[in-house]
């Protein structure tokens, strides 16, 4: 059979990325140009700055990804692109580039949901068995997703307010850590003790919903009250306590979801899936299903994951025309049995 090559483009937030996937799971290249340095001084991503950076580097990313893959445009089967969720201006840059490239080379265009990309990054390690359940934890999303078959994603639970990564970044900012703070909080957490007893919202509720804004507020209040009294709290203990509260909730809800949706495979993906504390607890506490977590290099935003998700869409004939528009708040449908 002829080899299939998909070129994928990802620009939904602050990483400009282009990748080439050969057949099901062989990533020939995955070029990632990160802009985190430019956003750090603002303590978060500035949308206009993000769009401008994407415009500056996207052409080089295309060229590098093709060169690294060692193929020509004529070898490609299709072009995939993230069309949401994300920052509208940032999405549009990648979409304009992907559409122009697809049109110039007479290639079909595959629209990909960014969260499907995070999830399908787990497929780089081997065959995924369906139905499967996924816990997706990123800077903008925290959701439990039931995947009935390749390309069919349904929400069974999600956060009512902040995403986990967002909570990490906000408490990190209060402590004076640089953006994004998740990795540093994870590192500090391993040096401290869970002594502050932060709230574990909705943990005993019989649903699959999450809420992290109360935890964030509790943390910020404790921190500011101590500062007003001239006390300084131990950062490692603060991080350990915060992380313990987050992980207790994530583990409890994921176990509840596995009871409600019996599957053989659990995928945990998204930027926060890089968290070592989360990985350790999943390994220790999730026993009866195959646990698949993408390798660290595919946890943060990258086009390789978009190509992996695009393969499933292509097999289903899910293509788009050049009129495809960005969908900043794109989300999976709720599951209706």
**For ligand KG4, what does the binding mask look like between residues 151 and 170, x meaning CB under 6 A?**
--------------x--xx-
Does the annotation flag 43 for ligand binding?
Answer: no
Q: Write out the residues near Zn ion by the rule CB under 5 A.
A: 138, 301
To the nearest 10°, the Cα dihedral for 331, 83, 6, 309?
Answer: -10
Nearer to ligand KG4, 13 or 144 (CB): 13
Q: Identify the residue among 182, 192, 294, 304 touching ligand KG4 (CB under 6 A).
A: 182
* Residue 180 interacts with ligand KG4 (CB under 6 A): yes or no: yes
* Residue 123 interacts with ligand KG4 (CB under 6 A): yes or no: no
At its nearest, how many Å lie between Zn ion and the CB of residue 274?
Answer: 11
Nearer to ligand KG4, 89 or 165 (CB): 165
Stretch that binds ligand KG4, among 153-161, 272-280, 281-289, 320-328 (CB under 6 A): 272-280
Nearest-10 crossing angle of helices 182-189, 235-260:
100
Does the annotation flag 117 for ligand binding?
Answer: no
Q: Point out which residues pair with 223 in neighbouring strands.
A: none
At its nearest, how many Å lie between ligand KG4 and the CB of residue 157?
Answer: 18
Rg (CA), the chain: 20
Which of Zn ion, ligand KG4, none does residue 168 bind to, with CB < 5 to 8 Å depending on kind?
Answer: ligand KG4
Does the annotation flag 79 for ligand binding?
Answer: no
* Residue 138 interacts with ligand KG4 (CB under 6 A): yes or no: yes
Residue number closest to ligand KG4, CB atom: 271
Does the annotation flag 172 for ligand binding?
Answer: no
Interface with ligand KG4 in residues 203-242 (CB under 6 A): none
Does the annotation flag 186 for ligand binding?
Answer: yes
Nearer to ligand KG4, 128 or 272 (CB): 272
Q: Residue 142, by phi and psi: left (phi above 0), alpha (psi -120 to 50) or beta?
A: beta
Q: Say which residues have a Cβ less than 8 Å from residue 85's Cβ, sequence separation at least 6.
A: 12, 113, 114, 115, 140, 141, 327, 328, 329, 330, 331
Binding residues for substrate: 136-140, 169, 182, 186, 275
Binding residues: 114, 118, 136-140, 169, 182, 186, 275, 301
Binding residues for Fe cation: 114, 118, 301
Residues that bind ligand KG4 (CB under 6 A): 13, 138-140, 165, 168-169, 180-183, 186, 270-272, 274-275, 300-301
């Amino acid at each position: 059979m002829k080899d299939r090559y998909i070129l994928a483009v990802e620009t939904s937030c602050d990483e400009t990325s282009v990748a080439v996937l050969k057949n099901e799971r062989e990533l020939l290249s995955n070029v990632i140009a990160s802009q985190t340095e430019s956003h750090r001084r603002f303590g978060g991503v500035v949308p206009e700055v993000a769009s401008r950076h994407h415009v500056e580097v996207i052409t080089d990313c295309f060229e590098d990804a093709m060169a690294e893959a060692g193929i020509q445009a004529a070898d490609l089967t299709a072009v995939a692109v993230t069309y949401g969720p994300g920052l509208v201006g940032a999405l549009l840059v990648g979409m304009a580039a992907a559409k122009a490239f697809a049109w110039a080379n007479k290639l079909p265009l595959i629209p990909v949901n960014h969260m499907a990309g995070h999830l399908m990054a787990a497929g780089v390690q081997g065959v995924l068995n369906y139905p499967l359940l996924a816990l997706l934890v990123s800077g903008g999303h925290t959701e439990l997703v039931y995947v009935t078959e390749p390309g069919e994603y349904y929400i069974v639970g999600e956060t009512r307010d902040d995403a986990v990564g967002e909570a990490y970044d906000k408490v990190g900012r209060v402590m004076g850590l640089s953006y994004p703070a998740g990795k540093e909080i994870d590192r500090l957490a391993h040096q401290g003790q869970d002594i502050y007893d932060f709230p574990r919202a909705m943990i005993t509720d019989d649903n699959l919903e999450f809420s992290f804004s109360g935890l964030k507020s509790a943390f910020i209040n404790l921190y500011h009250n101590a500062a007003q009294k001239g006390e300084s709290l131990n950062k490692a203990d603060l991080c350990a306590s915060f992380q313990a509260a987050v992980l207790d909730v994530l583990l409890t809800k994921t176990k509840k979801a596995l009871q409600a949706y019996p599957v053989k495979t659990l995928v945990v993906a998204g930027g926060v899936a890089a968290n070592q504390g989360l990985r350790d607890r999943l390994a220790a506490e999730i026993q009866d299903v195959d646990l698949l977590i993408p390798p660290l290099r595919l946890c943060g935003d990258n086009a390789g994951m978009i190509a992996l998700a695009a393969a499933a869409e292509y097999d289903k004939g899910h293509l788009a025309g050049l009129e495809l528009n960005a969908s900043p708040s794109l989300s999976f449908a709720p599951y209706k049995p």
